[in-house]
Amino acid sequence: MPSNTEITTSQLTRLVGLPTAPAIIDVRTPEDFDADPRLLPAAVRRDAQAAAAWAAEFAGRDVVVVCQKGLKLSQGAAAWLRHEGIRAETLEGGFEAWRGAGGLLVKTGELPPRDEAGRTVWVTRARPKVDRIACPWLIRRFIDPDAVFLFVAAAEVSAVAERFQATAFDIDDVFWSHRGAHCTFDTMIAEFGLLSEPLDRLATIVRAADTARLDLVPQASGFLAASLGLSRMFRDDLEQLEAGMLLYDAFYRWCRDATEETHNWPSGQKPT
């Protein structure tokens, strides 16, 4: 039974990937991290003993602090955060419990470097439709909630990536792009180790809509129509991205929680 300042792996699992997910702070020692350099989804690394120095970053947010076993490092850091008025819990059993329960873990080997503000910076072609909204959604929800996305002319993506220390995606001849029949969203799921039934289901919808294979799944046609509609509604790509986040949030929740639910009318009752 967790204390009132702990959260269980099953409780945290239900929050991961949602727009209301808490900030996750990994305070494992360098030795423990090096032994398994994966992170819980959207987690950031911090030094537990320097909590007083970084606590203000998380003001106004719900926080879950994770160390190796859920003991002194996470409990001490979380207590300091609470002292600063931040709603902070620790993960019961820590990283070992999460890993043992089969929770999603992000591979960090290909994670781009962060800028001076601690954000990953990405660049792609302007006027996104499907894949170039799907990838930012995945990154914001599972990799880096504060990620920056730059939308530029297609011919300038590589040059902007070089000049502004950004990571190019969804263009030819870069690491983060289509591979065979799979789109960039598939590539990111595979490279970050985010294989799960809900994300696999969503990836199939994205792939079908992005590569003109609407016969793959029945949801693809509606998904494509909504994506193209959004592209006509917004002149500003960043505004379109923010609107598109809600579309992907909704489809992810369907993929995770509602695939068996149906809806019908009339109810079968005869009118009186």
In which band, very low, low, confident or very high, does the pLDDT at 63 lie, cut at 50, 70 and 90? very high
Measured CA to CA, the distance from residue 231 to residue 105 in angstroms comes to 32
For residues 47 and 79, give the distance between their C-alpha atoms in angstroms, rounded to a whole number: 14
Mean of the per-residue pLDDT values for the chain?
A: 96
What is the biggest distance separating any 2 CA atoms in the chain, rounded to whole angstroms? 73
Over residues 245-268, the pLDDT tens digits come to 999 999 999 999 999 998 888 766
CA separation for the pair 123, 161 (Å, rounded): 6
Q: Which domains does the chain have, with CATH numbers?
A: 6-106 (3.40.250.10), 121-258 (no CATH)
Residue 267 confidence (pLDDT):
66
Which pLDDT does position 269 carry in this prediction? Answer: 63
CA distance 98 to 8: 9
pLDDT value of residue 265: 81
Predicted local confidence at residue 266, as pLDDT:
75
The predicted model gives 42-59 an average pLDDT of 97
| Residue 141 C-alpha from the chain's centroid | 2
pLDDT band at 3 (very low <50, low <70, confident <90, very high): confident
Percent of the chain with pLDDT over 70: 97
pLDDT at 268: 62
Closest among 19, 22, 17, 20 to 6, alpha carbons compared: 22
Residues 176-187: tens digit of each pLDDT: 999 999 999 999
pLDDT at 263 (0 to 100): 86
- In the DSSP assignment, the letter for residue 189 is H
Please determine, for residue 272, whether its predicted confidence score (pLDDT) is greater than 60.
no
Q: Is the pLDDT of residue 270 over 80?
A: no
Q: How many CB atoms lie within 10 A of CB 87?
A: 15
Look at residue 223 in the predicted model and tell me its pLDDT.
Answer: 97
Please name which of 16, 202, 185 lies closest in space to residue 102, comparing C-alpha atoms: 16
How many residues in total does the chain contain? Answer: 272
